[in-house]
Amino acid sequence: MTGFARVEGSAGDTAWVIEVRSVNGRSLDVKYRFPPGFEAVERLGRELVKGRLTRGQVTLNVSVSSATGKGSVGINHDVLAAYLDAGHDLIKAGKVKKPRLDGLLSLRGVIDSASDDREGLDEAGEAALGADLARAFDGLKAAREAEGRALNAILKSQLVAMAAALERAKSLAAQQVEIIRDRFTRRMNELLADQAGFEERVLQEAAVLAAKADVREELDRLTSHIDQAHGLIDGEPAPGRKLDFLAQEFMREANTLCSKAAFIELTQTGLELKSVIDQFREQTQNVE
């Protein structure tokens, strides 16, 4: 979701530079920065962003200058005279020193600049600005799409890694019942081996524990989620939010898998799966 674009343009004696950049964001948030008299930037921008972007924190900055490269700067003599009159008595009484030119020029309102008095753009100027804003947003979209193509390969490689870990988990999960039964039988032999009905009690309790530790449902859901993720990446124009949700579901199932694991190898595979899911979730934040 990161990108940057820069466009320069002008109309009449006014030139502008448009810079637009974006970073990751769960929803679309556009901030506009422009000089006084250029409020049309926000109005035009709101229309132009529709259909181009759906997520991200976007900042659009417009700076304005004279198209001729020569700024019009002058001294406002009325304001300067007002400052001098206000300080005349203090100077005459010797309470303050005579003002220096650099100090006077730094006073608010003494310097007049053409850029401070801009009244905005006429209809033709606004049309030119709107066209350049469209170019800027198109450039940003192109930059984000280029990043998206690179992310496509990364996300798919992570899904492949998840699928590989899932296959190992399925193979290991088949050992769960035997491991639980053997472990429970040893413990019961230590405690109740000579009591009547021992064998039947062992089978009943082992069956209950095995049912609680059955991870086939979690593995099936993870397989389904991987298929859904591939479908979103290949078929959705803006799958970011759906991938965000799917990543949460991935982690939920992986957590349950780890909590049900009855032996270290399956736990390690579950942790490996969680690591890949976490990487996947971080990358989905970059997806439109």
Residue 257 reports pLDDT greater than 80: yes
pLDDT reading at 236 higher than 80:
yes
Query: pLDDT-derived band of residue 116, with 50, 70 and 90 as boundaries?
Result: very low
Residue where the block lists tokens 């982690």 = 251
Q: Is the model's pLDDT at 2 over the cut of 90?
A: no
Lowest mean pLDDT among 6-15, 198-207, 277-286: 198-207
User: Using CA atoms, how far apart are residues 212 and 260, in angstroms rounded to an integer?
Assistant: 8
207 and 149 fall within a common domain: yes
Pair 184, 272 in one domain: yes
* Same domain membership, residue 150 and residue 124: no
CATH code, 55: 3.30.230
Buried b (16+ CB within 10 A) or exposed e, 140-166: bbebbeebbeebeeebeebbebbbebb
The answer to whether residues 8 and 57 belong to one domain is yes
Query: Do 34 and 87 belong together in one domain?
Result: no
Tell me the C-alpha distance between 276 and 274, whole Å.
5
Q: Between these two residues, 105 and 281, which has the higher pLDDT value? A: 281
Residue 139: pLDDT band (50, 70, 90) is: very high
pTM score: 0.62
Residue 268: its pLDDT value, please? 93
Q: For 53-122, where are the alpha helices, taking DSSP H only? A: 77-92, 101-105
Domain range spanning residue 106? 73-113
- pLDDT value for 259: 87
124 and 245 inside one domain? no
Q: 86 and 51, same structural domain?
A: no
Listed in sequence order, the residues at least 6 apart from 19 whose beta carbon sits closer than 8 Å to its beta carbon are 4, 5, 6, 60, 61, 136
- Paired tokens of 16: 């502008």
Whether 108 and 81 map to the same domain: the answer is: yes
**Pairing relation of β-strands 111-113 and 56-66?**
unpaired
51: left (phi over 0), alpha (psi -120 to 50) or beta: left
pLDDT at 115: 47
Residues 7 and 139 in one domain: yes
> Are residue 154 and residue 248 in the same domain, yes or no?
yes
Q: Which residue has the tokens 């059955």?
A: 214
Q: What is the mean pLDDT of residues 246-267?
A: 90
Least confident interval from 121-130, 201-210, 247-256, 270-279: 201-210
Pick the residue with more confidence: 5 or 104?
A: 5
151 and 280 share a domain?
yes
Same domain? For 211 and 224 the reply is: yes
pLDDT over threshold 50, residue 67:
yes
Contact 262, 212 (CB under 8 A): no
The stretches of the chain forming alpha helices (DSSP H) are 40-49, 77-92, 101-105, 123-173, 176-192, 198-212, 216-235, 240-260, 264-284
Mean pLDDT of 221-232: 94
Residues 4-15 have a mean pLDDT of 91
> How many domains, the chain?
3
